[in-house]
Amino acid sequence: MGSEKAEIRPEELEAFLDEALPAPRMREIEEALRRDRNLAEQLRAIIQRRDLGLVSIAEVWRRQRLSCPSRDTLGAYLLGALPPDEARFVRIHLERIGCRYCLANLADLQSRMEATQEQKEAAQRRCQRYFRSSLHHLTHSAEP
């Protein structure tokens, strides 16, 4: 998202509503909404527009992840193995579009690459906990 803090674009407000921006930018927008009535009005207008059944390009493109790189591509990006043009596209997608889904994938890939044995075991324990506590739902809720 760069380091600039000033301008909040309408497209970002759309993404804000969908919880789709990086956490620091989400917080900046939350703070701005508290002090800036015009911005709050813009947000209200977007909500009302959605409520009337209208959709925007920004909203659909981001929510449907039309240009998100695959996880394999993100892995290659981490390893510096992408051709320059594609690597620049991915960097812009992450840093300027601020795709939260791809940033989460990238963070996960990075942490798996760099995980210590202790961290791997902690992840396994988490997964076991999720598994045990959801098993009941698997056996009772999975019928089509």
Partner 1 sequence: MVNRPEQSEQVFIERIRAKDPVAWEQLIATYEGRLLAFLEPRVADRAAAEDLVQETFTGFLRSLPHFDESRSLEKWLFAIAANKLKDHLRRERHVQSLVVSNDEQEAPQIPVVAGARGPSTILDSRERRIKREALLLSILAEEVERIRRDEGWTKLACLELLFVGGYRNKEVAELLGISEQQVANWKHDFQSRLKRHLDAAKENGITF
CB of residue 115 vs partner 1: minimum separation in angstroms? Answer: 9
Instruction: Find, among 64, 65, 77, the residue nearest to 107 by Cα.
Output: 77
The one among 5, 88, 113, 121 contacting partner 1 by CB under 8 A: 88
Closest CA to 59 of 91, 20, 95: 20
Taking CB under 8 A as the criterion, the residue among 67, 81, 113, 121 binding partner 1 is 67
Burial letters 77-93, b for 16+ CB under 10 A, else e? beeeebeeeeeebbeeb
To partner 1, the closest distance from the beta carbon of 3 in angstroms equals 14
- Complex with partner 1: residue 30 or 79, whichever CB lies closer: 30
| Site size with partner 1, rule: CB under 8 A | 73
Of 3, 6, 64, 117, the one binding partner 1 by CB under 8 A: 64
Q: Rounded to the nearest 10 degrees, what angle do helices 10-17 and 37-51 cross at?
A: 60
Instruction: Give the nearest distance from C-beta 40 to partner 1 in angstroms.
Output: 4
- Return the residue of 5, 9, 79, 113 that touches partner 1, per CB under 8 A: 9
Residue 119 sits in the site that holds partner 1 (CB under 8 A): no
94 near partner 1 (CB under 8 A): no
Neighbours of 4 (CB within 10 A): 6
Collect all residues with Cβ–Cβ distance below 8 Å to 80 and sequence separation of at least 6. 87
